[in-house]
Chain A
Amino acid sequence: MRLRILLALFIALVIVRGAFAQIGPDPCNTIFGSTSSLPGTFGALRSASTYKGLLGYSMLIILSVLLIISFLYAIGMAFKIDRLTSFSRNEILENVLNFIIIIFISGGIAGIDNLIVGIANFGSSAIGGTTTSVTSTSSMYYNTCEFYYSDAIGQIWYIVEISFLSFVYNIGSGFTLLLMPNGLGIIIQPLAWLNALQKMMGMFGAFAIGIAGVELINVFLLAIIYYLFPLFLYLGILFRSFPWTRAIGGALLGVFISFYVFYPALVYSFSAIVGSIEPVLLASIQKQSNVFNNVGSLSQLSASSFSWIIPTESMFSLPIELFGNVIAVSAINVIGIIISLLICFDIIEAFGDLLGAPSLAHKGVLKKVI
């Protein structure tokens, strides 16, 4: 009977070998993947996966406005209304200018975008790193999202490991030797110094939480930009077509160009460069993605802590080296995000000057946000 049960279990194991559950829902695939489950915004005006799609709808808006203004011009000419004629003439010229701006800026920016990505790929290949090919806007967003999400998850696992170590140190520091028979004597806690390591773990944990938080926010910020910001392009072109709302249109165009075009290109460049140098930096440190699969290094830390009553320098330097290096690399990612945001706010102000939007042109956008 026992043999039959063992045989059945063996057969079951053979059959199900390799058929393990998928772990870790990936938001990048859900948001930017080809089978995205997010509803396309604006119905037929879906956010395009390339600049060409956005350009098409923008030209449609300009043509529609030009048709209306041409009609007004014809009425002015027919009924000899000089004011209407001069107004329409000015507006036709402004819309032609809008057309040129969209072509020039989009084309120029697409070129700048490719230039930034090319520089990043060149830089990472020069130091022996690998690069991911970017063929469209959505693939750039997707690759950037994947990089920051995986790094954020890595930080979360370090928090779990830090918690496990703190748990071990907590038990060790509480070890008490009672030498007080009949209520008179001494109490010794030989491993109380582990509290210092525990506090160190807490500090590293706070850094890791901050880094993970910024990276996760960046991931979902990219989703908001990808799906919502094309609205600013269409509204910007529409508003720029009329004299009373021209400044507002310029401001919206500036916001779109800065965040939809430049921001993902900049963070992608940082991610490409950091992603390439990360294996080099971390070559001596085992990347721990699953605390239950990497007990070796943890037991080494725990054993080194418990094998000596008097602490030595290595017991403090080992966790510092292990977690400090990892957090430092991820901190570079966070600095990259902050620098990209600062550059984008500067670009907004530059476009405010270029497109005549006083709300953006007075060097106050970042100050207002803060």
Chain B
Amino acid sequence: MIDYILLQASASCLSSISGFLTAPYTAWFPIAAIIAAMIISILAIIYMLAPLFGREDIRANVKISVYQALFSLALIAAFGIFSTWLCTFNAQSLLNAVNLSPSNVPQNANLYEVAISDLYWFTNSGPLANLNNGLLLFFAAMNMGPEINFKIDFMPGIGNLGLKDKVPLSPGGPLNAFSSYLTEGISWLFIMNDLQFIIISAAPIIFAIFLAIGLIVRIFGPTRNFGGALIALGVGIGFVYPLMVSITYGFINNAFNAMYSDLFLGTVANAFGTSLQSVLANILTGSFIINSIESAIYSFANLVGFTATASLILPMLNFIVVDTFVTDFSSAFGERMDFMSLLTRII
């Protein structure tokens, strides 16, 4: 599945001229440039014909629109170059140089491929997947013991006159309620991650469409603010959000790899020790049983804490940064847009 997703991400982001003109991601910029050129032509005709009808006021307004249209054309060219650079830029090397790109990311990947790879690894091979598998093992271990039923008859031969009780030898009974909380929590974490997948997958197209429409719409006076807000939203979701995901999830995945053997997989080493002396001590005294149970509990607690923190805090942090960017950038370019309110209303 990851190969399909990466193929789609790279297919929408081609580096050749023909690919640039026809790819669903970058083709919007040539279309927007053609529309802007057509608008400039129409405005130029109106500018020339206005004095013939004695409408100098229209001429003055059209003059401003022509300048705005030329500025939009320049912005279309600039953003088109930026989007091509974004597709071809080797984000994987740069992030690898600052230890923010784990080994699972393909070589020479662009920003969107890095973001998708990081998210995919986190969900399907990294902390979330490990927690899911660990929970299954935990539940199985807690419920695999037998149950002893005993019954004592006061008088042999006469049934249902005596005592009975049952002793479950697995601790699963009281702990099952706790594991159900965890299972429900993990389901919500998977949902949050899938939401991010959807946004990341649509990021290149949103970048292209919103920017193209915003740059065209901001030519005209009444819609200038709306166009600026669309530009800010496009840049926020299409560039800032994948960048934040690449940085934050790259760090978390690297941290998980670095801490995996120390914090999450140290059960055997912690139970028996790392020296012959400690191994002998633990076997002779039988404390390896207690040590292994304790160590397993510590490791599971660390895994739960790490995964819950990463799954809750990172999406929140990424959305806050994108919201900050979109709100402040849209205020500078046009109408103030509140990204988080928009997202919560959609959800």
Task: Point out residues on A near B: beta carbons under 8 Å.
Answer: 9, 12-13, 15-25, 27, 30-31, 37-43, 45, 152-153, 156, 159-160, 162-164, 166-167, 170-171, 174-183, 185, 198, 201-202, 205-206, 209, 212-213, 216-217, 219-221, 223-224, 227-228, 231, 244-245, 247-248, 251-252, 255, 290, 292, 357-360, 364-365, 368-369
Knowing A181-B158, A183-B160, A359-B328 touch, does A27 contact B302 (C-beta < 8 A)?
Answer: yes
Knowing A223-B255, A228-B247 touch, does A170 contact B160 (C-beta < 8 A)?
Answer: no
CA distance A152 to B306 in the complex (A): 13
Q: In the bound complex, do residue B178 and residue A357 qualify as a contact, i.e. CB atoms below 8 Å apart?
A: no
- We find that the number of chain B residues with CB closer than 8 angstroms to chain A is 84
Q: In the bound complex, do residue B174 and residue A38 qualify as a contact, i.e. CB atoms below 8 Å apart?
A: no
In the complex, the chain A residue whose C-beta lies closest to that of B304 is A216
User: A91 to nearest B CB, angstroms?
Assistant: 15
CB of B64 within 8 Å of the partner chain: no
User: B50 to nearest A CB, angstroms?
Assistant: 29
Q: In the bound complex, do residue B259 and residue A220 qualify as a contact, i.e. CB atoms below 8 Å apart?
A: no
Task: Point out residues on B near A: beta carbons under 8 Å.
Answer: 97-100, 158-168, 171, 173-175, 177-178, 181, 247-248, 251-252, 254-255, 258-259, 262-264, 266, 269-275, 277-278, 280-282, 284, 287-288, 290-291, 294-295, 297-299, 301-302, 304-306, 308-310, 312-314, 316-317, 320-321, 323-325, 327-329, 331-332, 336, 338, 340-341, 344
Q: In the bound complex, do residue A216 and residue B301 qualify as a contact, i.e. CB atoms below 8 Å apart?
A: yes
Not counting A20-B278, A25-B263, A209-B181, a sample of 19 additional A-B residue pairs whose C-beta atoms are within 8 angstroms of each other reads A20-B287, A21-B270, A21-B291, A23-B291, A40-B99, A42-B99, A152-B305, A159-B178, A166-B173, A167-B171, A185-B160, A198-B174, A205-B174, A216-B302, A216-B304, A220-B305, A244-B332, A255-B324, A357-B328
Q: Which residues of B have CB within 8 Å of A220?
A: 305-306, 309-310, 313
Knowing A19-B275, A160-B297 touch, does A181 contact B332 (C-beta < 8 A)?
Answer: no
Q: Which residues of A have CB within 8 Å of B287?
A: 20-21
The 4 closest A-B pairs by CB, nearest first: A216-B305, A21-B273, A166-B174, A359-B327
Among the listed B301, B323, B331, B336, which residue makes an inter-chain contact with A153, where contact means beta carbons less than 8 Å apart? Answer: B301
Between-chain CB contacts (< 8 Å), 13 pairs: A16-B277, A19-B280, A21-B282, A24-B270, A27-B305, A42-B100, A43-B97, A153-B301, A163-B174, A171-B166, A223-B255, A247-B328, A369-B320
In the complex, the chain B residue whose C-beta lies closest to that of A293 is B290
Q: In the bound complex, do residue B284 and residue A231 qualify as a contact, i.e. CB atoms below 8 Å apart?
A: no
Q: Which residues of A have CB within 8 Å of B288?
A: 21
Q: In the bound complex, do residue A209 and residue B332 qualify as a contact, i.e. CB atoms below 8 Å apart?
A: no
CA distance A220 to B328 in the complex (A): 30
CA distance A21 to B293 in the complex (A): 13
CA distance A18 to B97 in the complex (A): 45
User: A338 to nearest B CB, angstroms?
Assistant: 15
Q: Which residues of A have CB within 8 Å of B269?
A: 21
Q: Which residues of A have CB within 8 Å of B251?
A: 41, 224, 227-228
Q: Which residues of A have CB within 8 Å of B282?
A: 20-21
Q: In the bound complex, do residue A43 and residue B99 qualify as a contact, i.e. CB atoms below 8 Å apart?
A: yes
Q: In the bound complex, do residue A181 and residue B159 qualify as a contact, i.e. CB atoms below 8 Å apart?
A: yes
Knowing A27-B302, A221-B313, A231-B247 touch, does A358 contact B328 (C-beta < 8 A)?
Answer: yes
Q: In the bound complex, do residue B331 and residue A358 qualify as a contact, i.e. CB atoms below 8 Å apart?
A: yes
Q: In the bound complex, do residue A247 and residue B332 qualify as a contact, i.e. CB atoms below 8 Å apart?
A: yes
User: B4 to nearest A CB, angstroms?
Assistant: 30
Q: Which residues of A have CB within 8 Å of B308?
A: 213, 216-217
Among the listed A31, A40, A368, which residue makes an inter-chain contact with B320, where contact means beta carbons less than 8 Å apart? Answer: A368
In the complex, the chain A residue whose C-beta lies closest to that of B312 is A217
CA distance A342 to B140 in the complex (A): 40
Knowing A23-B291, A153-B298 touch, does A39 contact B99 (C-beta < 8 A)?
Answer: yes
In the complex, the chain A residue whose C-beta lies closest to that of B271 is A21
User: B158 to nearest A CB, angstroms?
Assistant: 5
Among the listed B160, B280, B316, B317, which residue makes an inter-chain contact with A178, where contact means beta carbons less than 8 Å apart? Answer: B160
Q: Which residues of A have CB within 8 Å of B247?
A: 228, 231
Knowing A20-B281, A179-B161 touch, does A360 contact B302 (C-beta < 8 A)?
Answer: no
Q: Which residues of A have CB within 8 Å of B277?
A: 15-16, 19
Among the listed B160, B252, B259, B294, which residue makes an inter-chain contact with A181, where contact means beta carbons less than 8 Å apart? Answer: B160
CA distance A96 to B224 in the complex (A): 33
CA distance A221 to B305 in the complex (A): 10
CA distance A231 to B271 in the complex (A): 39
CA distance A182 to B282 in the complex (A): 55
Q: In the bound complex, do residue B298 and residue A25 qualify as a contact, i.e. CB atoms below 8 Å apart?
A: yes
Q: In the bound complex, do residue B328 and residue A30 qualify as a contact, i.e. CB atoms below 8 Å apart?
A: no
Q: Which residues of A have CB within 8 Å of B161?
A: 178-181, 185
Among the listed B301, B309, B328, which residue makes an inter-chain contact with A224, where contact means beta carbons less than 8 Å apart? Answer: B309
User: B110 to nearest A CB, angstroms?
Assistant: 20
Q: In the bound complex, do residue B259 and residue A37 qualify as a contact, i.e. CB atoms below 8 Å apart?
A: yes
User: A261 to nearest B CB, angstroms?
Assistant: 17
Q: Which residues of A have CB within 8 Å of B290?
A: 290, 292
Q: In the bound complex, do residue A163 and residue B324 qualify as a contact, i.e. CB atoms below 8 Å apart?
A: no
Q: In the bound complex, do residue A360 and residue B99 qualify as a contact, i.e. CB atoms below 8 Å apart?
A: no
Q: Which residues of A have CB within 8 Å of B164?
A: 176, 178
CA distance A170 to B329 in the complex (A): 61
> Which of B255, B288, B291, B328 neighbours the largest number of chain A CB atoms within 10 Å of its CB?
B328
Q: In the bound complex, do residue A170 and residue B305 qualify as a contact, i.e. CB atoms below 8 Å apart?
A: no
Q: In the bound complex, do residue B255 and residue A38 qualify as a contact, i.e. CB atoms below 8 Å apart?
A: yes
CA distance A160 to B306 in the complex (A): 21
Q: In the bound complex, do residue B174 and residue A170 qualify as a contact, i.e. CB atoms below 8 Å apart?
A: yes
User: B271 to nearest A CB, angstroms?
Assistant: 6
Q: Which residues of B have CB within 8 Å of A206?
A: 177, 181
Q: In the bound complex, do residue B160 and residue A39 qualify as a contact, i.e. CB atoms below 8 Å apart?
A: no
User: B317 to nearest A CB, angstroms?
Assistant: 8
Knowing A39-B254, A40-B99, A369-B320 touch, does A30 contact B294 (C-beta < 8 A)?
Answer: no
Q: In the bound complex, do residue B259 and residue A38 qualify as a contact, i.e. CB atoms below 8 Å apart?
A: yes
Q: In the bound complex, do residue B284 and residue A37 qualify as a contact, i.e. CB atoms below 8 Å apart?
A: no
Q: In the bound complex, do residue B281 and residue A219 qualify as a contact, i.e. CB atoms below 8 Å apart?
A: no
Q: Which residues of B have CB within 8 Å of A360?
A: 324
> Which of A40, A163, A185, A201 neighbours the largest number of chain B CB atoms within 10 Å of its CB?
A163
> Which of A17, A25, A181 neighbours the largest number of chain B CB atoms within 10 Å of its CB?
A25
Q: In the bound complex, do residue A358 and residue B327 qualify as a contact, i.e. CB atoms below 8 Å apart?
A: yes
CA distance A221 to B262 in the complex (A): 19
Knowing A176-B163, A221-B309, A369-B320 touch, does A39 contact B302 (C-beta < 8 A)?
Answer: no
Q: Which residues of B have CB within 8 Å of A216?
A: 301-302, 304-305, 308-309
User: A301 to nearest B CB, angstroms?
Assistant: 15
